[in-house]
Structure 1
Amino acid sequence: MTETEITLTLHERLSDIGEAAWDACACPEAADGGRPDDPFTTYRFLNALEQSGSVGPGTGWEGHYMSARAGDEVIAVAPLYAKGHSQGEYIFDHNWAHAYERAGGRYYPKLQIAVPFTPVTGRRFLTKPGHEAMGRAALTQGAVEMAERHGISSLHVTFCTADECAAGETLGLMARRTQQYHWENRGYADFSAFLADLSSRKRKNIRKERAAAQGFGGEIVHLTGDAIQPEHWDAMWHFYQDTGARKWGTPYLARAFFDLAHDVLRDDILLIFALRDGWPVAGAMNLIGRNALFGRYWGCAEAHANLHFELCYYQAMDYAIAHKLGRVEAGAQGEHKLARGYLPKPVHSLHWMSDPGFARAVAHYLEAEGAAVDDEIEILTSYGPFRNTEEEEHQ
């Protein structure tokens, strides 16, 4: 089958593609009844964003979901959005936008293949098994042609996999490397086994932090599936709104998203709450993948020492160990994660610019930035909390 037999279609609504066709490309591994590798690219998650009004007209995230068909069969899909700003992306291009517009260009709207508001690496060119190369090429070519046809400045594919990044480069896109912090479960039997891997000073610090946090005057609970009740979403919305207003000015998710999450996502979600007298005073929301726990939102109604670290990092690690998950991804940024066992990992994205001169300038920037990121990852990893056996033997 050749590329000329592939039909590309843009859809303003995810329902035009349909759940079965989308998930056959997005999470074929879940056909066995297990969890998807990436819960964020599932139909239920992306559709909840759309149906809640978190994306769509007036949000700066207008859906133009792509499908690639071979005959009547959907072989590939992509979450494509027309962006009216650079908010909610976490791969920052504000400086590019300012430079382009100072030179007289119009940067927005731009096209973005991404999961809105979600700094989590995963496949962005979602293909059925056996159609990877054909599907990626068709979706990439289609997105670039759409940008060229409509005079759009640029295309961005954010938080894609390393394999997609390499393939995208061969198709003419520019690769970018940034970094974030992940915790890896090295087959730990319990949290104490993790602590045994750390230097003595870091072990003591973490024990002190956990003791202080757990002394807030209540209990910490893990809630998922049917254990999550509507009042828990009320509390989580309050926490999310407070933190979002302080961090971003305006929270990205609509209130209706949390109601839809209860209906269709609660089995994918882990809420970690600090309760006093049965009522949450702080909470963290996570999504559960097949081999990873993804930390997303945190907030509190009261300030307690180290409770943020306990709920967002240490309790997440406890859950991952107990459920034999391979890693915890705790979101974007935050060098404070390093001392708590979260090490820097590369993050990949792809970019295409319509203006050749601007594309050359961005390419030079990405080359220098990539080298600096590689150096930073190496340096930060060396400052991690894990013990140096030779040094400890000489203490």
Structure 2
Amino acid sequence: MELSVHHSIGELAASDWLSWFGDDYPFISHAFLLGLEQTGCTGANQGWQPSHLVLREANKVIAAVPAFLKTHSYGEYVFDWAWADAWERSGKRYYPKLVTAAPFTPASGPRVFLDPETPDALEKLVSAVGLWCRERELSSWHLLFCAEPVSDRLSDLGLHQRLTTQFHWYNHDYSSFDDFLATCSSRKRKNLRKERARVADQGLSIRTLSGREATAEDWRVFHRCYQHTYAKRSGHGGYLTREFFTDICPTLDSTVLVLADDDQGPVAGALYFQSSDTLYGRYWGCLREYEHLHFEACYYRGIEYCIERGLRRFDPGAQGEHKIQRGFEPTLTYSNHWVAAEEFNQALSAFCIREGEHVREYCEAARDLLPFKATE
């Protein structure tokens, strides 16, 4: 077997990548990953060195994973800072580590290509990547936001499984936003309508555009909104560069841009991506604050978009318990973790099991806070 590493997605043919991962999930498409590289969002200087791995047996590709050498844990959304601290306190290096993920994107989706004609492809991949990590003295390999079936198989192979909770909206064949509201209790329904009405009362107008419909100025405005909000919240200008929004997003068929205007011009925006059955809410920013505008642009417009286009699920991103009362249901996400240091495995296994139990309990308890009418 031969494991090859590719420090740019451009080293791999787009047609090969397409045949391995398809084109439905937007965040590991060849165009998306290449766009991140070309606009300075990923690379060695950003601590996201592309290191995509392809496993061949008898000159045939039997497995492949998007991967990055990481020198920090930012932009991952499965938090391992305590792990890094434990490594450092024991005299070991935690960074660099290997991460299989969609950069800056906590959205579950395909993470591993496995040749359907090679039944043990996953076992061979785990063995080969583990050896590769040890040879390069990498502390660990993390596969973030995997599909549940793949995560369970990785868990069976000894990769620690971690669970987190997100809040997703599901389209139960609603015919309209009002049809969705009709499933909510009277008090919750009234609150949601009040929030939407308040946005209109403030004299705001909302536009929903496909990425190709949005003008160059629309994309420049959105970047300003994104950068302004990141700077206010996190003290930096965000992970994504202006060129990613202005040069790459307009070329991607998966982008949807929501912009809000007041009487002085654009004031806020939300950027979504879509697949054949799912809408992903990814980025929000505003130049001026308006009451409930965030909820309108990031949640209610997304729900309407799903209903109008028959999308089955709306994933608005990580965290945010305030989503529950707006109809977003607790949903488990899955990640898996391989570590080179055998002395940590027992402690990590116990930690992940305890954490998983707590996450499942929380997820179940959170369902009691949903706004829907009680059913018998």
| TM-score range for the pair, normalised by the shorter chain length | over 0.9
Residue 48 of structure 2 is aligned with which of 40, 55, 61? Answer: 61
Deviation larger for 222-231 or 108-117 = 222-231
State the match for 2:6 in structure 1: 11
1:204 to 190, 202, 205: 190
**2:329 is the alignment partner of 1:334:** no
TM normalised by structure 2 equals 0.95
Q: Quote how far apart the aligned CAs of 1:74 are.
A: 3.9
Partner of 1:171: 157
Closer/same/farther in 2, CA of residues 18 and 342 from structure 1, 3 Å limit: same
The corresponding residue for 1:216 is 202
Question: How far off is 1:134 after superposition?
Answer: 4.2
Alignment of 1:1-395 (within 5 A): 6-27=1-22, 30=23, 36=24, 38-127=25-114, 130-131=116-117, 133-250=119-236, 251-265=238-252, 267-277=253-263, 279-389=265-375
- Evaluate the alpha carbon distance shift between residue 133 and residue 199 of structure 1 in structure 2; reply closer, same or farther with a 3 A threshold: farther
Report percent identity of matched pairs.
39
For structure 1, which runs of at least 5 residues remain unmatched after alignment? 1-5, 31-35, 391-395
RMSD across aligned positions (CA):
1.7
CA deviation after TM superposition for structure 1 residue 200, in Å: 0.9
Per-residue deviation, 1:76: 3.3
Residues 137 and 50 of structure 1: CA distance in aligned 2, closer, same or farther (over 3 Å): farther
TM-score (norm 1): 0.91
Deviation for aligned residue 1:334:
0.5
Unpaired runs of 5+ in structure 2? none
SS in 1 for 2:44: coil
Secondary structure (helix, strand or coil) at the match of 1:58 reads: helix
Q: Secondary structure at the match of 1:104?
A: coil
Mean Cα deviation higher: 275-284 or 342-351: 275-284
Of 248-257 and 105-114, the range deviating more from structure 2: 248-257
Q: Is the partner of 1:303 in helix, strand or coil?
A: coil
Distance 1:216 1:137 in 2: 58
Q: 1:24 to 1:189 in 2, by over 3 A?
A: same
The structural deviation recorded for 1:277 is: 4.7
**Contact 1:21–1:74 (CA<8 Å) still a contact in 2?**
no
Name the CA distance, whole Å, in 1 between partners of 2:231 and 2:113: 33
CA distance in 2 between partners of 1:365 and 1:303 (Å): 41
Instruction: Report the AA paired with residue 274 of structure 1.
Output: A
Amino acid corresponding to residue 21 of structure 1 in structure 2: D
Q: Label 1:264 to 1:196 Cα distance change in 2 as closer, same or farther (>3 A).
A: same
Between the aligned partners of 2:186 and 2:4, the Cα distance in structure 1 is: 57
CA deviation vs aligned residue, 1:149-199 (integer Å, no higher than 9, x gap):
111111111001101111102222111111111000001000011111111
Once the two structures are superposed, what CA deviation does each residue of 1:188-247 show, in whole Å capped at 9, x if it has no partner? 000011111111111011000110122231311111043111101101111111122233
Question: Residues 80-108 of structure 1: CA distance to partner in whole angstroms, max 9, x if unpaired?
Answer: 11110000000000111112211211111
Structure 1's 247 and 70: CA in aligned 2 closer, same or farther, altered over 3 A?
A: farther
Q: 1:237 to 1:171 in 2, by over 3 A?
A: same
Give the aligned residue type for 1:119: P
Count of aligned pairs between the two proteins: 375
Instruction: Check conservation: 1:112, 1:158, Cα contact below 8 A.
Output: yes
Is the contact between residue 7 and residue 69 of structure 1 (CA under 8 Å) also seen in structure 2? yes
Residues 109 and 312 (structure 1), Cα distance of their counterparts in 2 relative to 1, 3 Å cut: same
CA distance in 2, matches of 1:73, 1:44: 24
